[in-house]
Amino acid sequence: MNPTPDLLQLRNSLNEQGILLCFNGPLSRSIIEEMGVAVRGYLESEAMAKGQVADIFSVYIEQVQNIRQYAARRATDPADLQRLNAAIVTIRRRDEQYTVSAGNLVEHRDVPELEERLRLLERLDPAELKQLYKETLKKPRSGGGAGLGLINMARTSRRPLAFSFQPLDQRFVFFALSAEL
Amino acid sequence: MSALNIAATTSTPAVVWRPETGSLEISGESYPENALEFYEPILAAVAEYLRRPETALHLEFNVRYLNTSSVKAVMDLLDLAEEAHQRGAGVAVVWLHDADDDRALEVAEEFCEDLTLPFTIKALPAGEVK
């Protein structure tokens, strides 16, 4: 029996959706760095404006680091940490628009606060987002995390952050977040 | 007081701190997972230095990208400098960035928005950026 996974199907699916780069697996510091180098390298080879490369890179880093922080906060043991660090990250191009997306596991109990925060960000205009960013910057450091990073992503994106929550099982919901640049 | 000489890594900047002259240089990239942990010894060294009267402090930044937790840490550092400036110490900040990167310029401009200390932003032609 052929040990190859259905690569043609996977390739077609990725191509149809304009996905240029995709990572699926547990995030670690080194994977984040290595993927980051690959992302930048790829975007630079596309002769993209440096500011736009910076935006895409920034949104990518904030998304994956938020997942790492969340995983560290909620994991109950090393195996659980591995499960929580598991993410799917894509960078997609449609026409000239790039979309950086990430999906990870979030516990049911964390959904209301996360959703509320995202809905708040949705309603703010660029000036208000900047104001919120500055206020949050001044606050003393809290354990939290998805504060500044999320606000910065909202500021960097051209449109409000797109998100969805899909229940998976008793403990987890699949949270997907996208930033269009 | 001891000097600091931290080598750059993929996600953390090179840091050179010379307490004899009060000169701090941070260059490279800054996106460690835990920026607070990375910047803590730097903040501590500068805070200790600033306890002496009549100190001069010169900060130079040449960082391509800062994640938000690094922005927070750098803001804390700049707040220390601002405080010293308002007390009459000779403080100056120089921020270098790639001339072709308009996002990097925006980051620099935002840092100096609420500061009164001398803050110079210099655009480096691509060849000179670290």
**What is the spatial distance between Cα A149 and Cα A145, in angstroms, rounded to a whole number?**
7
Task: Tell me A108's DSSP state.
Answer: G
Q: Which of A51, A55, A62 sits opposite B67 (nearest CB)?
A: A62
How distant, in Å, are the alpha carbons of A59, A99, A148, A150, A151 from that of A117? 17, 21, 11, 9, 9
Is B59 or A1 the better-scoring residue by pLDDT?
A: B59
% of chain B at pLDDT higher than 70: 96
Q: Residue A142 — very low, low, confident or very high, per pLDDT cuts 50/70/90?
A: low
| pLDDT at B130 (0 to 100) | 54
Please provide the average confidence, as pLDDT, over all residues in chain A. Answer: 94
Read off the pLDDT of each residue in B97-104 and give the average, rounded to a whole number: 94
pLDDT surpassing 80 at residue A140: no
Read off the pLDDT of each residue in B7-23 and give the average, rounded to a whole number: 96
Report ipTM (2 d.p.).
0.92
- Do residues A173 and A107 lie in contact, with contact meaning Cβ atoms separated by under 8 Å? yes
Q: Residue A25 — very low, low, confident or very high, per pLDDT cuts 50/70/90?
A: very high
How distant, in Å, are the alpha carbons of B39, B62, B81 from that of B27? 13, 4, 18
Q: Give the gap in angstroms from C-alpha A3 to the nearest C-alpha of chain B.
A: 36
Q: Do A54 and B67 touch (CB under 8 A)?
A: no
Read off the pLDDT of each residue in A59-65 and give the average, rounded to a whole number: 97
Task: Tell me A63's DSSP state.
Answer: H
Q: Do B68 and A152 touch (CB under 8 A)?
A: yes
| pLDDT at A1 (0 to 100) | 79
**What is the spatial distance between Cα A177 and Cα A57, in angstroms, rounded to a whole number?**
15
Read off the pLDDT of each residue in A103-119 and give the average, rounded to a whole number: 97
| pLDDT at A47 (0 to 100) | 85
Q: Do B31 and A65 touch (CB under 8 A)?
A: yes
CB pairs under 8 A between A and B: 56
For the stretch A169-178, pLDDT in tens is: 999 999 999 9
Read off the pLDDT of each residue in B64-91 and give the average, rounded to a whole number: 95
- Do residues A143 and A123 lie in contact, with contact meaning Cβ atoms separated by under 8 Å? no
| SS3 state of residue B94 | strand
CB atoms within 10 A of CB A94: 11
For the stretch B52-74, pLDDT in tens is: 876 799 999 999 999 999 999 99
How distant, in Å, are the alpha carbons of A56, A66, A74, A167, A170 from that of A77? 33, 19, 9, 23, 18
A→B interface, C-beta within 8 Å: 29, 32-33, 36-37, 49-51, 54-55, 57-58, 61-62, 65, 68-69, 134, 137, 141, 148-149, 152
Give the pairing type, strands A86-94 and A97-107: antiparallel
Q: Do B103 and A61 touch (CB under 8 A)?
A: no
Handedness of CA A111, A113, A114, A117 (dihedral sign): positive
Q: Do A50 and B68 touch (CB under 8 A)?
A: no
User: What are the tokens at B15?
Assistant: 């840091």
| pLDDT at A154 (0 to 100) | 97
Q: Which of A54, A69, A149 sits opposite B103 (nearest CB)?
A: A54
| pLDDT at A146 (0 to 100) | 47
Q: Do B65 and A57 touch (CB under 8 A)?
A: yes
pTM above 0.90, yes or no: yes
| SS3 state of residue A44 | helix
pLDDT surpassing 80 at residue B82: yes
